[in-house]
């Protein structure tokens, strides 16, 4: 099958589509192709990127001679851009993958009721808002990689070690939820991120000694 019109100056019109006879793939622009089979049968094919991989999507049911199906083409492209799979069922295709920001808000809302300490609940989302959102807040959860998590943690890993550890744990929780909810597959991107980070140096905090005359009362208080 020959390939024709790899870089068309303009899209095919209805007359051209009708008159094309030779077997081949005829580019219509923006990833849309008219396929003419050896039998003479014609069909449309959309070439796009779905979840990081190139996919060829057959547009079954799209009138060959009518280019009014552009709406269908745009719909498929929109689903692909939003991280969905246009080849899935219509119901699945409409299931848009949430951003990290949206996923974190969902996880926070689901867990907040079980957290007895309101301060902890507030800190949980605040740390993500302050440190994670500026970097990955608008990323779809199925597109977040370990390198993205590394960019979140690197600036605070040594300067704010305890906060960085909490941020890492909370990102991991959100990613676990995303996988359980069916929005991503594979390993948690937080796994192995410390391999790209320097070793934290923990300094022991020394507290003031209890005066000798207060030791008895201090021990009694501990009991």
- pLDDT tens by residue, 136-162: 999 999 999 999 999 999 999 999 999
Count Cβ atoms below 10 Å from residue 209 Cβ, excluding itself: 7
Q: Look up residue 203 and give its DSSP letter.
A: -
| CATH 1.10.150.130 domain range(s) in the chain | 100-196
CATH 3.30.160.390 residue spans of the chain: 2-93
Query: pLDDT tier at 178 (50, 70, 90 boundaries)?
Result: very high
User: 63: pLDDT confidence band, cut at 50, 70 and 90?
Assistant: low
CA–CA separation, 94 vs 86, rounded Å?
A: 9
Euclidean distance between CA atoms 25 and 44, whole angstroms: 9
Q: What is the pLDDT of residues 116-139, one digit of tens each?
A: 888 888 999 999 999 999 999 999
Please say whether the structural domain 100-196 has been given the CATH code 1.10.260.40.
Answer: no
DSSP string, 71-128: HHHHHHHHHHHTT--TTS-HHHHT-PPPBHHHHHHHHHHHHHTT-S-HHHHHHHHHHI
**Could you tell me the CA-to-CA distances from 174 to 26, 35, 101, 179 in Å, in that order?**
45, 43, 10, 9
Give the Cα-Cα-Cα angle 51, 57, 60 (nearest 5 degrees). 145
CB-based contact 153:167 (threshold 8 Å)? yes
Residue 193 CB burial class (10 angstroms; 0-12, 13-18, ≥19): buried
CATH class of 2-93: alpha beta
According to the model, what pLDDT value does residue 111 have?
86
């Amino acid at each position: 099958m020959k390939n024709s019109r790899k870089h068309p100056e303009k899209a095919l019109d209805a007359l051209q589509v009708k008159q094309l006879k030779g077997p081949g793939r005829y580019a219509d622009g923006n990833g849309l192709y008219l396929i003419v089979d050896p039998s003479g049968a014609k069909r449309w094919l959309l070439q796009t990127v779905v979840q990081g991989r190139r996919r060829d999507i057959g547009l079954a049911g799209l009138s060959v001679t009518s280019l009014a199906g552009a709406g269908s083409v745009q719909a498929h492209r929109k689903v692909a851009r939003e991280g969905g799979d246009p080849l899935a069922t219509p119901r699945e295709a409409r299931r848009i993958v949430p951003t990290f920001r949206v996923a974190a808000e969902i996880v926070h809302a689901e867990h907040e009721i079980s957290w007895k300490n309101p301060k902890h609940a507030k800190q949980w989302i605040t740390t993500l808002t302050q440190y994670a959102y500026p970097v990955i807040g608008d990323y779809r959860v199925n597109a977040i990689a370990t390198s993205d998590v590394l960019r979140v943690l690197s600036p605070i890993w040594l300067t704010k070690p305890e906060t960085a550890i909490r941020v890492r744990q909370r990102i991991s929780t959100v990613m676990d939820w995303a996988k359980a909810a069916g929005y991503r597959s594979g390993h948690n991107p937080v796994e192995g991120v410390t391999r790209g980070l320097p070793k934290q140096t923990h300094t022991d905090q020394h507290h003031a000694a209890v005066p000798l005359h207060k030791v008895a009362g201090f021990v009694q208080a501990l009991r």
